[in-house]
Amino acid sequence: MKKCEYCAKEISYHEMYCDEDCQRKANAYYDLKEKFSKLFMIVNGICVLSIGIFIFAFSFFPELGLYGASGALIILGLMYFFLPFPPEIMINKYKIEKSLKICRIIAIVLFVIGVELLTTAIIVY
Ligand SMILES: [Zn+2]
């Protein structure tokens, strides 16, 4: 069975979306992605790279490592929440609506870990 590109409900073969609402939401998602995907890729690259560097730095400069990693995690969490752009492979599998949900859950988890680390850094240093 073919599925709605947005909500993954079953639809007939000549359709792409189950109703206008899903089509409108899908278009809104693609518009947002078109506008911000460059910014997303740049911030994503910088954050992921700096988390790696800060984790490495942790053994030599624990304070810098902890503050840096928590900052990068918080920025990443906020971005994944407000600009959730799941990878294409995920959208193919789960369709847009569910992929956005998964992306936002990951965002919240990253944000919470970031805040926890920051709190730890503040208490310890
Ligand atoms: Zn739908």
Q: What single DSSP character describes residue 27?
A: H
* 13 three-class SS: coil
At 123, is the pLDDT very low, low, confident or very high (cuts 50, 70, 90)? very high
pLDDT surpasses 90 at 71: yes
Q: How far apart are the CA of 77 and the centre of ligand 1, in A?
A: 27
pLDDT, residue 66, reads 95
- At residue 24, the pLDDT reads 98
**Residue pointed to by tokens 């407000």:** 82
Assess whether pLDDT exceeds 90 at residue 125: no
Q: Which residues contact 97 (CB under 8 A, 6 or more apart)?
A: 6, 7, 8, 25
Number of domains in the chain: 1
Find the 7 Cα to ligand 1 centroid distance in Å: 4
Mean pLDDT of the 81-95 span: 97
> Per-residue pLDDT for 12 more than 90?
yes
16 CA → ligand 1 middle, Å? 9
Counting Cα atoms < 13 Å in the Cβ hemisphere of 108 gives: 5
> Which residues form the domain of 47?
2-124
Per residue in 39-57, pLDDT (tens digit) is: 999 999 999 999 999 999 9
35/92 Cα distance (integer angstroms): 21
Question: Cα of 3 to ligand 1 centre, how many Å?
Answer: 8
State the average pLDDT over residues 81-107: 97
Report the alpha-carbon distance of residue 63 to residue 87 in Å, rounded.
33
Q: Cα of 12 to ligand 1 centre, how many Å?
A: 12
Tell me what the pLDDT averaged over the chain comes to. Answer: 96
- pLDDT at position 1 over 90: no
Cα of 79 from ligand 1 centre, angstroms: 26
Q: In 1-125, at which residue ranges do the beta strands (DSSP E only) sit?
A: 2-3, 10-11
Whole-number Å distance, alpha carbon 27 to ligand 1 midpoint, is 12
Share of the chain above pLDDT 90, in %: 98
Distance (Å) from CA 83 to ligand 1 centroid = 21
